[in-house]
Amino acid sequence: DAGVTQSPTHLIKTRGQQVTLRCSPISGHKSVSWYQQVLGQGPQFIFQYYEKEERGRGNFPDRFSARQFPNYSSELNVNALLLGDSALYLCASTWGRGDEKLFFGSGTQLSVL
Amino acid sequence: RKEVEQDPGPFNVPEGATVAFNCTYSNSASQSFFWYRQDCRKEPKLLMSVYSSGNEDGRFTAQLNRASQYISLLIRDSKLSDSATYLCVATNSNSGYALNFGKGTSLLVTP
């Protein structure tokens, strides 16, 4: 079975641009979460979606938004990119909302120049 | 103050050594705790859950002390393949089912 897949794997943008990152969860998983990992830090929670509704939001500005589609895939959008948005963006899926075991995708490495 | 604090290391140990990592968490409402392993430029992978009674998985032993808000991971008989960053994690039920990650502790096992 395929694991969590994310696209693209790498992305280079310039300040002020907008970016969309995509995630497909493991088949049967209904919950998707997004995390940002800056170099040298642990992953930081951005959003959780379950059954297409936002169930949790971390301490990120409104420039960050996300959505979940009927097939449970998800997109993360970041507007007005800043240099500080350069990071590895990780998507994780679980079967249920409170499922403890997160399965992470290999991430999208975003570089903002 | 970060919700999960851990010593970033690096810990350099010879093969066969025993090494211990510790972390503390600040949110007393945290319900669940984990250790994740992350190899360089890869995604984090769940190593093991952590329980108050202590739990063991082969060479790995995890322990939780709720009174001190302290989590530990012990690795016995270290292997070269154990070289990685170990992330301490506590759940944050105030924000969906978010995981609060520490910065990670870097371990290098040398021949």
Q: Which residue ranges in chain B fall short of pLDDT 50?
A: none
pLDDT digits (tens, 9 = 90+) for A12-43: 999 999 999 999 999 989 999 999 999 999 99
pLDDT digits (tens, 9 = 90+) for B58-72: 999 999 999 999 999
| Shortest alpha-carbon distance between residue B41 and chain A (Å) | 9
| Shortest alpha-carbon distance between residue B97 and chain A (Å) | 6
3-class secondary structure, A84:
helix
pLDDT of residue A65: 97
Cβ atoms of residues B84 and B38 within 8 Å: yes
Q: Which residues of B touch A (CB under 8 A)?
A: 4, 32, 34, 42-46, 49, 87, 91-92, 95-104
Residues 6+ apart with CB under 8 A from B4: A42, B23, B24, B25, B26, B88, B89, B90, B100, B101, B102
Cβ atoms of residues A11 and A107 within 8 Å: no
pLDDT digits (tens, 9 = 90+) for A58-71: 999 999 999 999 99
Q: What part of A 60-89 touches B (C-beta under 8 Å)?
A: none
| Shortest alpha-carbon distance between residue B103 and chain A (Å) | 4
Q: What does the pLDDT average to over A39-50?
A: 93
Q: Measured between alpha carbons, how far is B39 from A7 in angstroms, rounded to an integer?
A: 20
Q: How far is CA B22 from the centre of its chain?
A: 7
- From the list A42, A48, A50, the residue facing B87 with the nearest CB is A42
Residues 6+ apart with CB under 8 A from A48: A31, A32, A33, A34, A54, A55, A56, A57, A97, B95, B96, B97, B98
Residue corresponding to tokens 């292997």:
B79
pLDDT of residue A11: 96
The yes-or-no verdict on residue A99 having pLDDT over 60 is no
The yes-or-no verdict on residue A1 having pLDDT over 70 is no
Amino acid letter, B73: L
pLDDT of residue A2: 78
Q: Measured between alpha carbons, how far is A96 from A29 in angstroms, rounded to an integer?
A: 7
pLDDT of residue A98: 63
